[in-house]
Amino acid sequence: MKAAIQPTSALAGTIVWASSPTLTGNTTPVILPVPAGCTNSYPKSVAVNGATVYVVGFSHYVASDGTAYAATQWTVNAATGAVTETRLFVTDLSGRYDSQANSVYVFRNNVYVAGYVMDYGTGISNQERWKIVTWKNGVKTEWGNPSSARYQYNKPSSIFVTDK
């Protein structure tokens, strides 16, 4: 999958995704690190702000009761190639939660991410189990589930922010 970047920044060219999370700018590939405790990662969306590239997706890990996903953000400094990886949700890797980050957008130097969180804890109603989530600069906001069915698959696929 290729996503073209307009030649308005230091990253003029293309970004190429490989089977392992690899980011290629003009000529130098940048490997997106897999978070500690995770086995692999899946980048899903890219946004560029000047010389900074934001990539979001999710990382797969093996929990005590099976496998799960953790919403992940990578921040790439295009000038230096330095990559910072951040798990947006799930830090204990217990297997209670699944989370994914599906879209990223930068507006006025703020980074907005859309995704979801699924809570497999006991004693939780189906409506409370699944949450649509947004993050602004890493701070999570949960939006309710509009249905009481357990698996609604209310997975936001894009995010857009405006002044209005």
pLDDT tens-digit profile of 31-87? 788 888 888 888 999 999 988 999 999 988 887 777 788 899 999 988 887 888 888
Give every CB contact of residue 87 below 8 A, 6+ residues apart in sequence: 35, 59, 70, 71, 72
Higher pLDDT, 16 or 147: 147
The pTM assigned to this predicted structure is 0.78
- What's the confidence (pLDDT) of residue 153? 63
Spatial distance between the Cα atoms of 142 and 86, rounded to a whole number of angstroms: 18
By the 8 A CB rule, do 87 and 70 touch? yes
Q: Is residue 73 within a helix (H) or strand (E), and if so which, with residue range?
A: strand 66-77
> Do residues 12 and 24 make contact, with C-beta atoms less than 8 angstroms apart?
no
Q: What are phi and psi of 3, to 5 degrees?
A: -125, 120
77 φ/ψ angles, rounded to the nearest 5 degrees: -85, 110
Cα-Cα end-to-end distance for the chain: 33
Q: What is the pLDDT of residue 6?
A: 33
User: pLDDT of 2-25, one tens digit each?
Assistant: 333 333 333 333 343 333 455 555
What is the reported pLDDT for 160?
87
Distance of CA 118 to the CA centre of its chain: 15
| Amino acid present at 62 | V
The rounded mean pLDDT for the chain is 76
